[in-house]
Structure 1
Amino acid sequence: MRRWGFGAEWDAEYGGDGPSPTLPTITVTGGAVTTFDRSGVNYTQILFSVSGGMSVSAEVPGAQWALVGGGGTGGRAGGLNPSPGGGGAGGLVEGSGALPGGDYSITIGAGGSGASVTNNGPGADGSPSIVAGPLGMEAPGGGGGGATDLTNIPPRNGRSGGCGGGGSSYDGLGGAATAGFAGGAGFNGTGSTMAGGGGGGAGQVGANAASGSGGKGGDGVQLVWTATQMTVAGGGGGMSAGTPGAGGAGGGTAASNSEASASGTTGGGSGAVNSGRVPGNGGNGLFVIVVPSANADVVTA
């Protein structure tokens, strides 16, 4: 018994209008729906940048998806020379195959809040993004960057998370990663040679700091299969009064000595700061799923 996907197939063999099978229906609440063409094939994208849900009436073949946790913030130093590490990116979980039928609850993790970071304190962790339902998964939030001051010589390591935060000066270690890459280590120098490590990214480890140079954040991952290609989950740059570290692709650059650091974009970690300035926020997470338009009807509630 042959299952017909399109009336045109029936027309080509028998002539006339063929039967139109009932497609699975995906009913979306809180997500943005977009259709696009790629290589002559029409696709439908469902993007959740805020929490929501969806109901899938039956299994949908050919799906592809990515879930990103919220990014961590860079650490914050009260003085000029102690150098914190950059924020780690949120974790990235990708997959493809058949999307099982059923009801889904989607929670999008917030990026860490720069305003919540105290002087000489480590960066704030990002929150996890969670898909609850038949296709259950979790992308952990990114770890905050480590921090220290001149009176607290033992290093403060970067915090662990989806991607690890960078370590502070005095040889702080980068935080470990559970769904990405670790942060880079800080550099034990004096004065403006102190430097913090870069936060880890979903696609690359955060760079270790060097004398007078903050570590670059690890690069994020480019999602080339979405309606508009996007780079997600890059690590934040580590601080140095010499040369602040650049953010990885998708992450925030560390502050100059007179400005706040850059915030992360989607799931990205923010850069570290000194002189009591406030770090930027970590980027919020997201959930995106793409299905061939011929395989499902997608409607909004």
Structure 2
Amino acid sequence: MMSTALIVPVKNGGPRWQMVIASIQEQSLRPQRVVVIDSGSTDGSDDAAKAAGFELHAIAPECFDHGGTRQMAVEMVPECESVIFLTQDAVLEAPDALEQLVSALHTHPQAGVAYGRQLPRAEAGPIERHARLFNYPEQNTEKSLKDIPRMGIKTAFTSDSFAAYRRDALLRAGGFPQNCSMGEDMIAAARILLQGGTVVYAAQARVIHSHGFTMAEEARRYYGIGRMHAQQRLLLARFQSPASEGKRFVRSELVFLTRHAPWRIPEALLRTATKYSAYRWGKRSAPVMEQTG
């Protein structure tokens, strides 16, 4: 098995963070290093990490960004062959979750990144539940550039909520982008693919992780996605437009809600219109980045 570092960015993780800590401590795979990057917790999340025996690296809140902070963490663990990223609210579902994720890298020699399956929270509503079932199905997948005609931008889809990177492949591809407020995982995956590597979806490695976003929160999120797509247009141009993937999601959501919660369909359609408008607004508001990695 590869030497492994587990990296968890944290800020005010609350009770959910305590659940994540417990799930890490139950793992059959013991990472050589567990590094928590705390960006200004005031609820004791940093103390909980230290009490668990994790390495704690504190940064100022204004210094955190999703790409730059993760790149800093990768550079902190030069002795490790693989680097797993986990978020403070992603609870490892079984004691072999980390082992299964790293094994996916081991069994796919061309893989630069492997990401796991995210299951909805027990309290998730039907819209939240469908989003997880759509993006994280039961079947394993290995994606490469040859899948672009079939999958489009979904070829570069991954999630740093639960993902393991082959450290040398990530660094060869240029690592994570600096000054990146979101989408650093897709950018890194696209860079890895363009270097000839693959992206593996390991459905057997599972976390419990979903969000019940309000409509306003979804609008802010999709505005950010639109900005990222515009800024990284030169990089993501090889992966076609996300429009077809969005249509496939809407069709799937309508079928799911028709079966399980038809009274939520008007809300789902309103959310779709809000997300699309916010995405277009974000895309128009951002300059193209010249540096694509």
TM (norm. structure 1) is 0.23
Instruction: Determine which structure has more spread, i.e. the larger CA radius of gyration.
Output: 1
TM (norm. structure 2) is 0.24
Higher normalized strand content (fraction of residues): 1
Higher normalized helix content (fraction of residues): 2
